[in-house]
């Protein structure tokens, strides 16, 4: 099924929360009300709410209802969400290197798939800012096999993930992260406006996608002095 109903319900509620139409601490409509509103069964509504719960948007209270959680101010980078969606409206992005053909970076911490190593590699690098302060350098490598015409392409709404989805019909299906404390090189330090000797949080990500030929390798260098990286998990 291309457009599952639970995605519609999920997007509807997530949108309401992100626009502030339901205030923090406010209750969502009950599951039964949502069922009526969307003409679906509770199974479908609950699947959507489970996603929202997993992503930290809501909390559930047995016997009371589902409430909007206070959104963390830190960067929610440890999910499959992209940066912009995770951080919100105060995020800015600047290309340091537009997509080019390159070698597989020696900085990649995850093991690169054998099938990728033998292929042409596409690389791009971006600087992420919050409120105009640089907080993260993001370096990305991926095989060019599945991405015909990717070089010189404008990103859909400035988002790499949206481009993958809208242009190539490729969805992110999973991610693995490794986290380390370390130091960045001089160039990255300078871009992040970090003094020498200040450690950075380094996150190595391996994204799997709905296209078996496409795996994305990212190395993130985060200045955590003002904005720690956040993650939450509820059951």
Q: Which residues bind DNA (CB under 7 A)?
A: 1, 4-6, 28, 30-33, 39-44, 46-47, 49, 60-66
Binding partner at 79 among DNA, a copy of itself, none, C-beta below 5 to 8 Å by kind? a copy of itself
**How many other CB atoms are there within 10 angstroms of residue 120's CB atom?**
12
Shortest CB 160 distance to DNA, Å: 23
Strands 172-182 and 91-102: unpaired
Complex with DNA: residue 74 or 211, whichever CB lies closer: 211
What is the DSSP secondary structure assignment for residue 107, as one 8-state letter? T
Q: List the structure tokens of 72.
A: 């963390």
- Distance, in Å, from the CA atom of 48 to the CA atom of 17, rounded to the nearest integer, reads 14
Binding partner at 1 among a copy of itself, DNA, none, C-beta below 5 to 8 Å by kind? DNA
What is the DSSP secondary structure assignment for residue 71, as one 8-state letter? P
Binding partner at 122 among a copy of itself, DNA, none, C-beta below 5 to 8 Å by kind? none
Query: Which residues, in sequence order, are CB contacts of 219 under 8 Å at separation 6+?
Result: 105, 107, 108, 109, 138, 139, 202, 203, 204, 205
Binding partner at 6 among a copy of itself, DNA, none, C-beta below 5 to 8 Å by kind? DNA
Give the phi and the psi of residue 216 in degrees, each rounded to 5: -115, 130
Strands 215-222 and 133-143: antiparallel
> Measuring CA to CA, which residue among 58, 54, 51, 4 is closest to residue 30?
58
Complex with a copy of itself: residue 165 or 224, whichever CB lies closer: 224
Shortest CB 221 distance to a copy of itself, Å: 10
Complex with DNA: residue 30 or 131, whichever CB lies closer: 30
Binding partner at 231 among a copy of itself, DNA, none, C-beta below 5 to 8 Å by kind? a copy of itself
Give the phi and the psi of residue 183 in degrees, each rounded to 5: -120, 150
Shortest CB 152 distance to a copy of itself, Å: 30
Q: List the structure tokens of 111.
A: 């093991």
Complex with DNA: residue 77 or 214, whichever CB lies closer: 214
User: Which spans of this chain sit near a copy of itself (rule: CB under 8 A)?
Assistant: 43, 54, 56, 59, 72, 74, 78-80, 109, 172-183, 199-202, 204, 208, 222, 224-225, 228-235
């Amino acid at each position: 099924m291309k457009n599952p109903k639970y995605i519609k319900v999920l997007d509807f509620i997530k949108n309401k929360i992100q626009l502030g139409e339901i205030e923090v601490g406010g209750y969502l409509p009950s599951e039964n009300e949502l069922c009526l509103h969307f003409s679906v069964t509770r199974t479908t509504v609950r699947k959507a709410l489970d996603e929202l719960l997993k992503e930290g948007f809501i909390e559930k209270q047995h016997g009371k209802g589902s409430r909007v959680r206070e959104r963390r101010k830190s960067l929610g980078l440890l999910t499959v969400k992209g940066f912009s969606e995770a951080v919100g409206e105060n995020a800015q992005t600047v290309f340091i290197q537009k997509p080019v053909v390159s070698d597989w970076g020696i900085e990649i911490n995850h093991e690169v798939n054998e099938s990728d190593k033998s292929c042409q590699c596409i690389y791009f690098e971006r600087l992420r800012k919050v409120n105009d302060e640089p907080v993260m350098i993001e370096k990305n490598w991926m095989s060019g096999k599945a991405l015909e015409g990717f070089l010189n392409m404008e990103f859909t709404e400035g988002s790499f993930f949206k481009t993958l989805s809208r242009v190539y019909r490729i969805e992110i299906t999973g991610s693995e992260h490794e986290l380390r404390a370390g130091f960045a090189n001089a160039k990255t330090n300078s871009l992040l406006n970090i003094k020498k000797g200040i450690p950075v949080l380094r996150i190595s990500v391996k994204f799997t996608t709905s296209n078996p030929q496409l795996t994305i390798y990212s190395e993130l260098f985060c200045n955590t002095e003002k904005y720690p990286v956040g993650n939450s998990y509820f059951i």
